[in-house]
Amino acid sequence: MFLSARHAEIIQMAKDSGRVLVDDLAVHFGVTPQTIRKDLNDLCEQRLLSRIHGGALFPSGIENVEYEARRKIAAEEKEAIGRAASRLIPDKASLFINIGTTTEAVSNALLDHVGLMVITNNINVANRMRVYPEIEVVIAGGVVRGSDGGIVGEAAVDFIKQFKVDFAVIGASAIDDDGALLDFDFREVKVAQAIIANARHVILVADATKLERVAPVRIGHLSQVDTFITDRCDSEAIRAMCREAEVQLVETSRLDG
């Protein structure tokens, strides 16, 4: 399901300021408070916002967002990130693709490649790519997380360690100002760490909202990746870290086309 223009703008306003209020939104859009309340209720039912008295909050802190809702947040930005990542990966490459809505966007952009070997712990990625005869899909074993189809746990970690691939495509739930890459599930983090350790070139894909969030479990550090692809990076501290660690920073908003 796609968001209406007003819903998308409400989410962006909540993202920018942390919260939105019914009366302010009614004035901004020139509609009744009752219409805005219905909008907020709809968005909260989709887990895109959290309802408070008189308005709504943008989810942050240790609260993760439901997977289907995360697909809709910054969807166009994720598609652009996916296209940029796919241009770095040549035909006949081997690669890991980790759990996440942005990594799924990368998998979608790779469907016209030939001769790929894709190892993944993401059932959604495997299901999308398996029907393309030019792509060999290898899926990790382990515990399947019902919320997003991610495969996690020690069995998945041991499986990943059997490979040494050309590229890894990883995401993060949050990127701290000190460059820490963070997530919510320690089981997922262990798989991500194994992926980073067993790839020759690590591509981190994360939209700009991840620079505004926090999460409790550390995956690693920005300096451990080779390329960081985002829609935009407003943090000078992150930019400086990329320069110092020789991490290629790609901002899709700055790319032509």
CATH of the domain at 16: 1.10.10.10
Do 25 and 94 sit in the same domain of this protein?
no
Do 225 and 180 sit in the same domain of this protein?
yes
Exposed/middle/buried for 118, CB within 10 Å: 0-12, 13-18, 19+? Answer: buried
Q: What is the pLDDT of residues 208-255, one digit of tens each?
A: 988 888 888 999 999 999 999 999 999 999 999 999 999 999 999 987
| Residue 52: domain span | 5-59
Residue 63 has pLDDT above 50, yes or no: no
Q: Which of 25-29, 68-72, 209-213, 235-239 is the least confident region? A: 68-72
CA dihedral 125, 129, 135, 136 (to 10 degrees): 60
In the prediction, which pLDDT does 244 show? 96
CA distance readout (Å), 10 to 25, 41, 74, 111, 229 = 8, 12, 13, 33, 26
Q: Which of 41-45, 50-54, 173-177, 202-206 is the least confident region? A: 50-54
Residue 69 has pLDDT above 80, yes or no: no
In a domain, 65, yes or no: no
Residue 37 has pLDDT above 90, yes or no: yes
In the prediction, which pLDDT does 62 show? 39
In the prediction, which pLDDT does 201 show? 98
Do 19 and 127 sit in the same domain of this protein?
no
Q: What is the pLDDT of residues 112-154, one digit of tens each?
A: 999 999 999 999 999 999 999 999 999 999 889 887 889 999 9
Per-residue DSSP letter, 256: -
Instruction: Compute the mean pLDDT over every residue in the chain, rounded to the nearest whole number.
Output: 90
Average pLDDT over residues 81-92: 97
Do 105 and 132 sit in the same domain of this protein?
yes
Distance separating alpha carbons of residues 138 and 127, to the nearest angstrom: 11
Residue 61 has pLDDT above 60, yes or no: no
Do 18 and 114 sit in the same domain of this protein?
no
In a domain, 230, yes or no: yes
Instruction: State the pLDDT confidence band at 70, using cuts at 50, 70 and 90.
Output: low
Do 28 and 118 sit in the same domain of this protein?
no
Tally of structural domains, the chain: 2
Per-residue DSSP letter, 150: B
Do 188 and 221 sit in the same domain of this protein?
yes
Do 127 and 17 sit in the same domain of this protein?
no
Average pLDDT over residues 72-95: 92
In the prediction, which pLDDT does 257 show? 46
Instruction: State the pLDDT confidence band at 23, using cuts at 50, 70 and 90.
Output: very high
In the prediction, which pLDDT does 46 show? 82
The structure's pTM equals 0.76
CATH of the domain at 101: 3.40.50.1360
Question: Are 10 and 24 within 8 A, CB to CB?
Answer: no
Q: What b/e string do you get for 1-12 counting C-beta neighbours within 10 Å, with b at 16 or more? A: eebeeebbebbe
Domain end (from 40, 59, 78): 59
Quote the distance between the C-alpha of residue 120 and its chain's center. Answer: 15
Average pLDDT over residues 14-25: 86
Do 116 and 52 sit in the same domain of this protein?
no
Instruction: State the pLDDT confidence band at 65, using cuts at 50, 70 and 90.
Output: low
Question: Are 77 and 207 within 8 A, CB to CB?
Answer: yes
In a domain, 78, yes or no: yes
